[in-house]
């Protein structure tokens, strides 16, 4: 059944677990997420980005998610819109049937320019007012995603600040977070702790100075009743990086957010964990390997099955690690 983000995260807080929120663009990702959830008895958050809407088209995405609900009626599913850049974008998603939206007011309507605190409060508060009237949940964001090593947001396309960010923008301030939640009434709050979107998060395995899990603890201590969200939370699996490069790819050395660090975050109020890159890497690695190993094959379903299986294995591992398994 389709449920709201608030319903799911309240349950997650009560039972001290986290929920991975996987980005979805196509049938194979949707199947991977749902089959993994079915096999582990996990509730699901699927989210659609602006890039996904551009790729698949909003009606296809909507029906893909509704098809998942129809095929797996026993699994609770949150249909979430990722990184909305204005109240109007969120309104459109509500009209399409999303049960949850993110109003990312940390960046302007271009998804690139950092905004003022007052702007963020204003657009988020307005979005909450409108969404709650429709029974839809809202995730807000305070602070800008970006690397504490370089001050840059990472990912070239998609959502990310353009130009260098200063240290104070890269780490969410606990006092400001308390004020933000009080003024906006968001259901969940995305925070900045040094992660960034895409594969190139850290140039070395991260330590506390570049991945500020300690900051999560400070924020949670200040606003214990607010559900926290970690973006840019792919772990960038070294095994898939190696396979991609062994079979014709050319990705540089890079590190993601270790699963153990996310689990530590979940102990301190993190309830939603956004993951996109890990499934992209598993899909690409499995496809490259399959086509290399089976040069005569030309039926796309064959390599798409390999891709789906690789993504499903990642989904299952995250459901198990975050304590989502068994909670459906
Ligand atoms: O917000 C970032 C997600 O990884 C979605 O990326 O806009 O390329 O679909 P995308
Ligand atoms: P990753 O690029 O780390 O998978 O993050 C995805 C994300 O935060 C989507 O909002
Ligand atoms: Zn994000």
Over residues 99-135, the pLDDT tens digits come to 999 999 999 999 999 999 999 999 999 999 999 999 9
pLDDT one-digit tens code per residue, 272-290: 999 999 999 999 999 999 9
Is 327 a member of any domain? Answer: no
Q: Do the annotations mark residue 94 as ligand-binding?
A: no
In a domain, 326, yes or no: no
- Name the average pLDDT for the chain: 97
Structural domain boundaries, residue 244: 2-321
Mean pLDDT across 139-164:
92
Residue-by-residue DSSP string for 256-316:
---HHHHHHHHTTTEEEEEE-HHHHHHHHHHHHHHHHH-TT---HHHHHHHHHHHHHHHHH
CA-based torsion, 203, 206, 209, 210: positive or negative: positive
Contact 164, 151 (CB under 8 A): yes
pLDDT (average), residues 131-160: 93
Residue 315 confidence (pLDDT)? 99
Q: What is the pLDDT of residues 34-77, one digit of tens each?
A: 999 999 999 999 999 999 999 999 999 999 999 999 999 999 99
Asked whether the predicted pLDDT for residue 157 surpasses 80, the reply is: no
Query: What are the structure tokens assigned to 14, written together?
Result: 């009560």
Residue 234 domain-assigned? yes
Using the atom order of ligand 1, give the atom closest to the CA of residue 52: 9
Both tokens assigned to 118: 């007052």
- CA of residue 103 to ligand 1 center, whole Å: 15
User: Looking at residue 66, which CATH number applies to its domain?
Assistant: 3.20.20.70
Q: What is the total count of domains within the chain?
A: 1
| Residues belonging to the active site | 82
pLDDT-derived band at 158, boundaries 50, 70, 90: confident
Flag whether 328 is in a domain. Answer: no
Q: How far is CA 234 from its chain centroid? A: 8
Does residue 57 lie in a domain region? yes
**Distance in Å, CA 65 to ligand 1 centroid:** 17
Q: Give all strands (DSSP E) within 175-261, no chain letters.
A: 188-191, 227-230
Task: Answer whether residue 154 shows pLDDT above 90.
Answer: no
For 196-219, the pLDDT digits (tens) are: 999 999 999 999 999 999 999 999
Does residue 52 line the site of ligand 1, with CB under 6 A?
yes
With beta carbons less than 8 A apart as the criterion, state whether 63 and 71 touch. Answer: no
Which of 22, 51, 101, 192 to probe ligand 1 with, by most ligand atoms within 8 A of CB?
51
**Helix or strand holding residue 22 (H, E):** strand 19-23
Instruction: Tell me, rounded to whole angstroms, the distance of Cα 66 from its chain centroid.
Output: 19
Mutate to test the pocket of ligand 1, among 57, 82, 274, 277 (most ligand atoms within 8 A of CB): 82
pTM of the model: 0.98
Q: Which residues line ligand 2 (CB under 6 A)?
A: 23, 82-83, 197-198, 231-234, 274-277
* Domain-embedded: residue 18: yes
């Amino acid at each position: 059944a389709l449920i709201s983000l608030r319903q799911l995260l309240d349950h997650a807080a009560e039972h001290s677990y986290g929920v991975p929120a996987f980005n979805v663009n196509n049938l194979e990702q949707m199947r991977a997420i749902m089959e993994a959830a079915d096999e582990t008895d996990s509730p699901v958050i699927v989210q659609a980005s602006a890039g996904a809407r551009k790729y698949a088209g909003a009606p296809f995405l909507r029906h893909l998610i509704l098809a998942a609900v129809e095929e797996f009626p026993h699994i609770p599913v949150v249909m979430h819109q990722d990184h909305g850049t204005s109240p109007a974008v969120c309104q459109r998603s509500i009209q399409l049937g999303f049960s949850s939206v993110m109003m990312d007011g940390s960046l302007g309507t271009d998804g690139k320019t950092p905004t003022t605190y007052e702007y963020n409060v204003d657009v988020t508060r307005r979005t909450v007012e409108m969404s709650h009237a429709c029974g839809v949940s809202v995730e807000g964001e305070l602070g800008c995603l970006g690397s504490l090593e370089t001050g840059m947001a990472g990912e070239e396309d998609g959502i990310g600040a353009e130009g260098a960010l200063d240290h104070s923008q890269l780490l969410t301030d606990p006092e400001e977070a308390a004020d933000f939640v009080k003024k906006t009434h968001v259901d969940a709050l995305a925070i900045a702790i040094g992660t960034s979107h895409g594969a190139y998060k850290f140039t070395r395995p991260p330590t506390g100075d570049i991945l500020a899990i300690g900051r999560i603890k400070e924020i949670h201590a200040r606003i214990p009743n607010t559900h926290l969200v970690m973006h840019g939370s792919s772990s960038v699996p070294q095994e898939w990086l190696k396979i991609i490069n062994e079979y014709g790819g050319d990705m540089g050395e890079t590190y993601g957010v270790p699963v153990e660090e996310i689990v530590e975050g979940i102990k301190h109020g993190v309830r939603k964990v956004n993951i996109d890159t890990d499934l992209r890497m598993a899909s690409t690695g499995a496809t490259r390997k399959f086509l290399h190993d089976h040069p005569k094959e030309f039926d796309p379903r064959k390599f798409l099955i390999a891709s789906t299986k690789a993504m499903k294995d990642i989904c299952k591992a995250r459901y198990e690690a975050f304590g989502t398994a068994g909670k459906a």
